[in-house]
Amino acid sequence: MQEVKSISQWRKIFQELHGKSVGFVPTMGYLHQGHISLVERSVAENEITAVSIFVNPTQFNNQEDLQGYPVSIADDKKKLLELGVDYLLLPEYQELYCDGYRYKVSENQYSQDLCGGTRPGHFDGVLTVVMKLLNITKAKKAYFGQKDWQQFQLVKGMVKAFFLDTQIVGCPTVRESSGLALSSRNNLLSEKDKKIAPFLHEIISKKLSIDEKSKLLAEKGFKVDYLTEKDGRIFVAAFLGKVRLIDNVPI
């Protein structure tokens, strides 16, 4: 696995691939089985797989959240090497945002709801960094988990709107045996909250009204950010302590 730390280095590598299909998995690191499932699919479907690790500051509307985001570069590299990843992209902020984030990609409807409604500017940062990474890698396919359904749909919409050549592939949410959706943030939960967290998926999956589900979540100790039905799915974001968890299930 070759580490790539500059855009010019990747462009030279890409030219030398002579048209081989590139699968791409963008991550912020601290890789778990959910990330691994995306990488495994890319390796199976493409001649070359590239993974990026970049904790993107522009998508954090809470600086405390950014500073507390878990990092494990050494462990991540070991996992990616074992999975057969060809290239690990480790871009620097100064190069990726050479404009100082003066230019950005915005969506003005769906991004204002759900997570976008309570995290202003979040999806501007997500879409902007994904646009940059797709333009750099020129991947044939890019892989995203469906735990963040809103993000997945917005990225798909952006690619279509701007006529990018990359196919966005959605992959099923990977869960613990308890039903809890895997997330890097799960590691920030206290031991007490780790026992409560699985109730998030259990409760939103019940055949109850939104009000009934919201009441049950509160009784378990969740502080609900939002809980709603939209487009044939149930969406939730809720806090346990300072840790914000999201999930969604089809109705």
Catalytically annotated residues: 35
DSSP 7: H
Count of beta carbons in the 10 Å neighbourhood of residue 113: 14
Token digits for 104? 């950005």
Task: Tell me the C-alpha distance between 5 and 241, whole Å.
Answer: 36
Calculate ∠ Cα 180-205-201, nearest 5°.
Answer: 15
Identify the helix (H) or strand (E) that includes residue 41.
helix 33-45
CA-wise closest residue to 3 among 74, 82, 75, 88: 88
Q: Which residues touch 95 (CB under 8 Å, ≥6 apart)? A: 6, 7
Torsion angle of alpha carbons 177, 179, 184, 188, nearest 10°? -90
Count of beta carbons in the 10 Å neighbourhood of residue 176: 15
